[in-house]
């Protein structure tokens, strides 16, 4: 099942609010399954570093999955029990991953 537009918007809004002082370009969200067949959400946060080799706030990165889990638990969607797998990728490296075409 595809991730609904509403859920994508809610997760994107959450990420943008958490990282308001960082330069987040986009959030790419796809559903999937782990190796046991359990539902997951693959969430790629695309950012533009402010300085060479800079990354978003590490404390916020660590707590982001917890915030997303809380959002999912409150949602009334088929993805409410999915586990979020969050990764951060620079805009420069995004093309190498070929995520936009997915």
pLDDT reading at 102 higher than 50: no
Assign 101 a pLDDT band (cuts: 50, 70, 90). Answer: very low
Question: pTM of the prediction?
Answer: 0.86
* Mean pLDDT estimate for the chain: 88
Q: Domain 5-92 is of which CATH architecture?
A: 2-Layer Sandwich (3.30)
* Tens digits of residue pLDDT in 48-57: 877 777 778 8
pLDDT, tens digit (0-9, with 9 covering 90-100), for 41-76: 999 999 987 777 777 888 999 999 999 999 999 988
Rounded Cα distance, 52 and 75, in Å = 38
Q: How many Cα atoms are found within 13 Å in the side-chain-facing hemisphere of 5?
A: 0
């Amino acid at each position: 099942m595809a991730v609904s537009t509403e859920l994508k918007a809610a997760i994107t809004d959450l990420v943008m609010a958490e990282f308001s002082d960082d330069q987040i370009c986009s959030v790419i969200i796809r559903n999937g399954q782990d190796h046991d067949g359990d539902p997951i959400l693959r969430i790629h946060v695309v950012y533009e570093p402010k300085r060479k080799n800079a990354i978003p706030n590490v404390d916020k990165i660590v707590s982001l999955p917890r915030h997303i889990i809380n959002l999912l638990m409150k949602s009334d969607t088929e993805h409410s029990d999915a586990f979020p797998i969050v990764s951060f990728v620079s805009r420069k490296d995004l093309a190498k991953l070929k995520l936009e075409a997915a």
